[in-house]
Amino acid sequence: MKKQGKIITGVVSSAAVVGLVAWGIGFAGAASSNEWKLPGDLVAGPAIAEANPSTGTAVKTDRFDNVQKKIGEKAGLVDEQTNKSYFTIEVTKTQLLNRCTSRVGNQQLAPTRSRFLVLDVKATLAASVSEQVGGSTRDLFMPLVAEAFSVTTSSGTPDRNVTSETAWGCFDDSVLLPPVVNPGQSVTGKVVLDVDATTGKVAYDPEDNGGWSWPYGG
Amino acid sequence: MHRYTLGTAIALAVAVTGGTTGLATPPAHSAPAAATTLDSSTRSLPPGAGVAAIAAQAANQQKTTTHNLNLRRGKSAGTKVLVTIPRNTTLVVTSTSGSWSRTSYKGRTGWVASAYLKKAADAKAPAKSTRKRTTYNLNLRRGKSTGTKVLLTIPRNTTLVVTSTSGSWSRTSYKGRTGWVASAYLKNAAAAKPTYRWTTANVNVRKGNSTRHGSLGVVPTNTRVTYVRTSGGWSKAKTSKGTGWISNKYLDKHPQHSVVVYGTLRKGQSAHHILSGRTTKQTKTKLAYYNMYLKPHQTWWSFITPSSSRSRTVVVERMDIKSGHYRSTLANLDKWERFDATKPLADQNYNRKLVTDRDGKISWAYVGGSKISKYLSMHGIRVVSGDYLSRY
């Protein structure tokens, strides 16, 4: 249960949150801030519970502190007091494509590396999130852009360079995941990455210090 | 005295029967020039005119000219013409003498032949409805007199539409009641700010709101027209070809601005294909008060964010888009950048905004959305040169 103490005292200092499934990665800074900032001690990194407080199952992490998930398995942050999640994210499907249809001109776009890794993602952020982390609801969000994802190859090599211009151009906006999820919203859609490895793990890790990972390929 | 009056009357008769000295432009039924002789033309006088001319009548009546009419120094066609008053001009006649009426026009006071005046309409409708503002709390009355019933009181600083005037009264409506207010307590309201539209193609201005109506003419693409109103997918607009109707399919709320690009949309870069063949001119320039950022590891993706410093500049290429491709190109760029003006701007990757470049040209630019900009710039690399092509 490494780092858990930091999170408990840092993120939700006054709230009696005990069991975060993973850490609260991406809450926005204050309204006056010019930069997107993590609140307080969250900068220190993720807190990981020993067990999922919702299901009781053991929480496994990889070497990069990403909580390991199965495809379709929900990850998130839980308020122990209410046992309710205030942020959840799940990769419901992964697909490797040799090409995709551009949203402009309908031409076929090819990956600049080996494959397009297309993720179907669902994310929710509770309207009550400001109660957990403070700040104005207007300024709170979680980023969902491709840049918030990374992959780890089966050999364990991390790769954060998984976006490209052609991946950006894939699919119509209507099927793509919005760039952010705001308090009170639940969003779904596709994220397109441009990867070298055809098997491995894809992580939602917006601050490059640990998040959640799901397997793909293989 | 009598002889003088009679003589005047005789001379008058010349004028009122259409003599060229009385009318600036003789009406079609005017008498020949010979009629100006002073013979038996007295028969043309209105009955009693000769004797009635003795007494000038205080009138202050509103009259309208029925022809272009000479304002003369005296009550005679032989006197000097001071000015010619156009047809359909409303005058205030202050007195009459015989067949002559005393009036003023453009600062000159003199006499006109009464036969070419008609009583002005009881309530003179202005050429257009006029917007006026009340200078006091003002009674709206049933009639043109303070003795008539007050329908309601209109507050000070209320803008009204005056549909007609009569003497010192103005006809208007307020809160569903129509009546008269004292014109002295009205002043001209500031003209409503015109709303403009811009044509997106060479387009017909039609007499009605469908293609069944004839064309007043063709207005070139990217022409500013003054919007009046919309009906059935068409807009009524004031144009150089007159006021007519243009299909909304060919009107935009903005002129065809150029687009400044700074990243992969630049010439030779990976997304330039969206603009390729669609520009008339490409000009390299700079945009002040902006930072350019790249995300580490993902150096292809750039975005710009506003800066308070003039010294922070971004190198841009200003793309002038071909008129015929303007709409589709802008739509493609919006699509590529996933910009949707109908969605919350803060939640989008990019917002298309108007910016002014170093050359003073106003162009569209895709500026980073506020939330994603905060996220990405947190660990992003600021491109000090502001030039995407010098980012490494």
Do B278 and B231 meet the contact criterion of CB atoms below 8 Å apart?
Answer: no
Q: Which of A137-151, A168-182, B87-101, B167-181 has the highest mean pLDDT?
A: A168-182
Selected for mutation to probe chain A from B275, B333, B378, B381 (highest A CB count within 10 Å) is: B378
Q: Which CATH number does the domain housing residue B12 bear?
A: 2.30.30.40
Query: Do residues B92 and B179 share a domain?
Result: no
Tell me what percent of chain B is helix, strand and coil, each rounded to the nearest 5.
Answer: 20, 45, 40
Residues B221 and B282 reside in one and the same domain = no
- The dihedrals phi and psi of B328, each to the nearest 5 degrees, come to -65, -35
pLDDT for the residue numbered B26: 31
- B274: domain CATH number is 3.10.490.10
Same domain for B244 and B264: no
Condensed to tens digits (0 to 9), the pLDDT of residues B347-372 reads: 999 999 999 999 999 999 999 999 99
Same domain, B280 and B221: no
Average pLDDT over every residue of B250-257: 91
User: Which of these three, B66, B95, B119, is where a domain ends?
Assistant: B119
Is B124 within a domain?
A: no
Q: Within this chain, do residues B283 and B386 fall inside the same structural domain, yes or no?
A: yes
Burial of B192 (0-12, 13-18, 19+ CB in 10 A): exposed
Question: pLDDT value at position B92?
Answer: 81
Characterise B338 by phi-psi region: left (phi > 0), alpha (psi -120 to 50), beta (else).
left
Q: How far apart are CA B383 and CA B388, in angstroms?
A: 7
- CATH class of segment(s) A4-216: mainly beta
Domain co-membership, B333 together with B221: no
For residue B144, pLDDT beyond 80: yes
Domain extents in chain A: 4-216
**3-class secondary structure per residue, A132-186:** HHCCCHHHCCEECCHHHEEEEECCCCEECCCCCHHHHHECCHHHECCCEECCCEE
Quick check: is B10 in a domain? yes
Domain count, chain B: 4
Q: What are the chain A neighbours of B345 within 8 Å (beta carbons)?
A: none
Query: b/e for B221-243, b at 16 or more Cβ within 10 A?
Result: bbbebebbeeeeebbbbebebee
Could you say which of B218, B237, B252 is where a domain stops?
B252
pLDDT in tens, chain A (218 residues): 232 222 222 222 222 222 222 333 333 333 333 334 443 333 334 455 666 655 666 666 665 566 778 888 888 877 777 777 888 999 999 999 999 999 998 899 999 999 999 999 999 999 888 777 777 777 889 999 999 999 988 777 888 889 999 999 999 999 999 999 999 999 999 999 999 999 999 999 888 777 889 999 97
Shortest Cα distance from A18 to chain B (angstroms)?
28
- Tell me which of A34, A108, A175, A187 to substitute to probe the interface with B (most B C-beta atoms closer than 10 Å): A34
Single out the residue of B194, B247, B250, B246 nearest to residue B221, CA to CA: B250
The whole-angstrom separation of Cα B172 and Cα B143 is 11
Same domain, B19 and B135: no
B276 and B369, same domain (yes or no): yes
| pLDDT tens string B259-317 | 999 999 999 999 999 999 999 999 999 999 999 998 766 678 899 999 999 999 999 99
On whether both B160 and B267 belong to a single domain, the answer is no
Residue B370: strand, helix, or coil: helix
Which of A100-109, B52-61, B114-123 is modeled with the greatest confidence? A100-109
- Does B341 touch chain A if contact means CB atoms closer than 8 Å? no
- pLDDT above 70 (res B60): no
Cβ proximity of A215 and A164 under 8 Å: no
Query: Are residues B150 and B169 both part of a single domain?
Result: yes
Q: Answer whether B109's CB lies under 8 Å from B141's CB.
A: no
- What are the backbone dihedrals phi and psi of residue A99, each rounded to the nearest 5 degrees, phi first? -160, 170
Cα angle B189, B252, B351; round to 5:
105
Using the beta-carbon criterion (under 8 Å), do A143 and B372 form an inter-chain contact? yes
Please give the pLDDT value at position B121: 64
Q: Which domain holds residue B342?
A: 258-390
Looking at the structure, tell me whether residues B266 and B376 fall in a common domain. yes
Residue B125 lies in a domain: no
- Give the per-residue pLDDT at B289: 95
> Running DSSP on this structure, what letter comes out for residue A50?
S
Report the range of poorest mean pLDDT among A31-45, B213-227, B248-262: A31-45
At residue B260, what is the residue type? Answer: V
Q: Are B143 and B221 contained in the same domain?
A: no
* Cβ contact B336–A36 (<8 Å): no
Residues 6+ away with beta carbon under 8 Å from B6: B50
User: Per DSSP, what are the bridge partners of residue B154?
Assistant: B138
